Amino acid sequence: MNPIRLALVGLGKIARDQHLPAIAATEGIDLVAVASRNARLDGVAHFATLADLLASGEAIDAVALCTPPQGRHDLAAQALMAGKHVLLEKPPGATVSELGPLVAAAQASGRTLFATWHSRFAPAVEPARAFLAEVAPRGVRVTWKEDVRVWHPGQRWIWEPGGLGVFDPAINALSILTAILPRPVFVTGAELSFPSNCAAPIAATVAFADADGLKVQADLDFLQTGPQSWDIEVDTDRGTLLLAKGGAELSLDGQVLSAQPEAEYRNIYRRFVELVQTGGSDVDLAPLQLVADAFLLGRRLDVAPFHD
């Protein structure tokens, strides 16, 4: 089977840091074009916009959308209408409801739509899921704290409506949480701290529960300096399960159960190739739904303005 001819739409930090090396390392897919107003890639066909690319007649089979979530729906719709497979960076869109029409369009056109959650492909996530499938969780604490000035320097879109603010990184935790717990959780309360000059929160605490009364507490912060915290602790009858470093390491009461090299984006592209080859799609909206519900139920707290 010929490799999938891929176009990358958006060539910012995440595309350069993660997508380009992952594509280069994945069999069955080749990068043949880039659509970006502000950046080019040597040796790869360049277009200012996706519309220009699609109108050019450049031979592509699929697009990976690495643009900010605002406006991503229109790009995905264009690509699907043109008969291309679509990979969506996380979060898959700026709203939950905009994804339904894309799912329907993919089904109608027989094309793949893949809403990626890269943290689910961290090496210790599946071992954590398997453990909790046999050992019931008794309580969960999520601590997701990082420095926005390090990870999103100068990216103003993250503070605009639809940019999610602290939930841009925290949705990674929610993608893991919804993958490893044996039952779905729902939001029961939240406090969201909004800088006076931003339309998205810079910190939050969120409470969740499941139908059996399991309690989950999340502490989220985008102003963490020094060591960064990407941890999920789960109390069980066998001890405390710790999924640390964003899903890279798993331990039980300090004893390491799993620690392997990071390969999240390589696994994403392997999955995309598999979906395209088998004619499938993969669109799970649970993490984005939890964020939307936190905005619905959350009590707003006004805090100091944020400046890069």
Q: What residues are labeled active site?
A: 90
Distance, in Å, from the CA atom of 60 to the CA atom of 52, rounded to the nearest integer, reads 13
For residues 29 and 4, is the Cβ–Cβ distance under 8 A?
yes
The angle at the Cα of 291, spanning 237 to 72, to the nearest 5 degrees, equals 135
If phi over 0 gives left and psi between -120 and 50 gives alpha, with beta otherwise, what is residue 245? left
What sign results for the dihedral spanned by CA atoms 44, 46, 52, 57? negative
Distance, in Å, from the CA atom of 172 to the CA atom of 222, rounded to the nearest integer, reads 13
Distance, in Å, from the CA atom of 266 to the CA atom of 270, rounded to the nearest integer, reads 6
Distance, in Å, from the CA atom of 118 to the CA atom of 101, rounded to the nearest integer, reads 23
Of 21, 77, 26, residue with least CA distance to 270:
26
- Cβ neighbours of residue 134 closer than 8 Å, sequence gap 6 or more: none
The angle at the Cα of 299, spanning 152 to 287, to the nearest 5 degrees, equals 55
Q: Which residues of 192-221 are buried (b: 16+ CB within 10 A; e: fewer)?
A: bbbbeebebbbbbbbbbebeeebbbebbbb
Determine the distance from the C-alpha atom of residue 208 to the mean position of all C-alpha atoms in its chain, rounded to a whole number: 20
Q: Which two tokens stand for residue 181?
A: 């717990």
